[in-house]
Amino acid sequence: MAEMDLITSRLGQAGFTDVDCESALKGQKLPVNLGHSTVRLCLISGIRQHLDFARSDEVTDLCSTPGQEIFARARNARLIMSDVVPGRELMSNKESYPYCIWHPGVASEDTYRKLAATYPDMRYQVGRACAVAGYAQLYHELNLLPDPCIAEEAREASRDNDGSRYIFEQIMAAPVRYSVFNDYDLTIALDSPKPGAFLNADTAVSVTLKERKKYQGCFWSKSYFNITEDLGIGLETVKPKTVILTDDEADLLVSPLPIDLPTMNKDLLILASAYEGNVDRYARLRRKGRSVKYEVHCLVPGIYRSTAMAFWLNRNPDIMHEVAAAWDEDFVVDLRRGIHARHIMNNATHHLLDADPPVPDEELPYWIWYPNTPSSYTLCKLAEARAAMRPQCARACIAAGYRKAYTKIMDMPYPEANMPVDPHKPLVPLPADGYLIREAETTTYRDFFLEDMKRRREERGLKPQRPIHDRWKGRSPFQCADNSSDVLYGSLPDHGKCMVQEAGLVHSMWGPFDAAELGNVRLYLSNRGSTNFVPQGSNIVLG
């Protein structure tokens, strides 16, 4: 009883110390501060790796404490991987069944056979362990529904294991596959597996579990998966090698996707489909409930280009929040701006003007004339209905050469900043800001627009204004958006750094965040087969 009281006391302590983390990771002793999230992760990892620690009295007492089943799962996983089938007193309910029983090691085939016989509800975990270890005979005995996660696990292990190759071939030969494992939310659908599943690189295959990140007080992991429930925490950081796409993998960027994705490397595929606004590819490839790094940066321009993407995301706001939250939740506003802009460029204003409740000013888009220019009627209607949009409506008129519409908008009464509109009070017409002047300098009707704004400035005694926080508006979309590239890569990494350059204070045209461009990827793909040779991992500037 005294031991349980001590455990309860420790669970209420949320301090952080290096001693707690290191002793837990090394499997030496139970931490004092069991209420700290990082310390708990260290303890889970330590239990999964050290058998003596997992069987110690203090860990046994912790595992018996109500609400601490996560430690019981770690303990039971360690026992299984050490060829010990836990008794019913240790695995009395499904909350104590571990999800992953094949990392950091595998048990013997006989142990897994006994486990499946004792705990039939764990037969799919056993089947997946067979895929990792190559236990083809046991996998056959289990008579499981063919599952994509087991198939992908077997495919990755089959490079060095004939048994794993056999399991992979058996699953792929099945006429129908079923979605049993879900590595994103750690569920196993025993009662209602969905038929028609396919391989989609949504599996935390064993090789990826070797990645580690050193513990720290505010621990955060970028991993898409957490099948070991320790978020890959460790004593030291172990970074994986940069994944370089093979020729066959790179070819998926310019080919229809096969029913079964033949690779586990799909991050660049996700980013490219987001950037191009390809809703079919993006909806299939994206990681459910997760976000690839730079995904939001690529998705913003994709919405501007694709009506289908705009509609799909508007109908799935939870996806917008998932993608934005991985970088900054405030970026949801940028995604919504893109949706409004896409409708405006389609000459449809009711999505914005008839919204109830009204669309807040912060969600009103600025770039409403790229990649398509709305009609002069649409721009005048917007300017009349939403005074905050008059600067961009006027600029769009300049870009399109709508001289009459431009004049009409510039002469509209304009409310002073942060002041309510009083219909009985004369309002100040729209001033010619520096961004309108910049646009006028590049337009076909340059003389007309510049002369008109010069006259307006002289009449009112105004100087052009370019607010520092709005410098991104100084860019011209038809000059800087979707550019080609002269940087030739020798290989394509499976991450977004070949698409997004972290520019610090230099913002992209889409707003105050880093720019995404597909030019480097396109050049690499188009250059294949040419005489230009660039070593893998390097790049050159053409010319």
Using one digit for the tens of pLDDT, what is the confidence trace for 39-60? 999 999 999 999 999 999 999 9
The predicted model gives 325-331 an average pLDDT of 88
pLDDT tens figures, 516-542: 889 999 999 999 888 777 888 888 888
pLDDT tens figures, 424-453: 444 456 666 788 988 999 888 999 999 998
Q: Are strands 187-188 and 178-179 parallel, antiparallel or unpaired?
A: unpaired
Place of tokens 């698409």: 499
Q: Residue ranges per domain, the chain?
A: 2-234, 262-471
DSSP bridge pairs for 213: 233
**pTM of the complete model beyond 0.85:** yes
Mean pLDDT over each residue of the chain, to the nearest integer: 91
pLDDT of residue 538: 86
Task: Flag the least confident range among 365-379, 476-490, 494-508, 526-540.
Answer: 494-508
Task: Flag the least confident range among 138-152, 330-344, 385-399, 479-493.
Answer: 479-493
pLDDT of residue 4: 76
The predicted model gives 205-225 an average pLDDT of 94
The predicted model gives 391-395 an average pLDDT of 95
Among 27, 64, 32, smallest CA distance to 48 is for 27
Amino acid sitting at position 333: V
Percentage of residues of the chain with pLDDT beyond 90: 77
pLDDT of residue 465: 60
Instruction: Report the b/e string of 180-211 with b at 16+ CB within 10 A.
Output: bbbbbebebeeeebeeebebbbbbbbbebbee
pLDDT of residue 419: 43
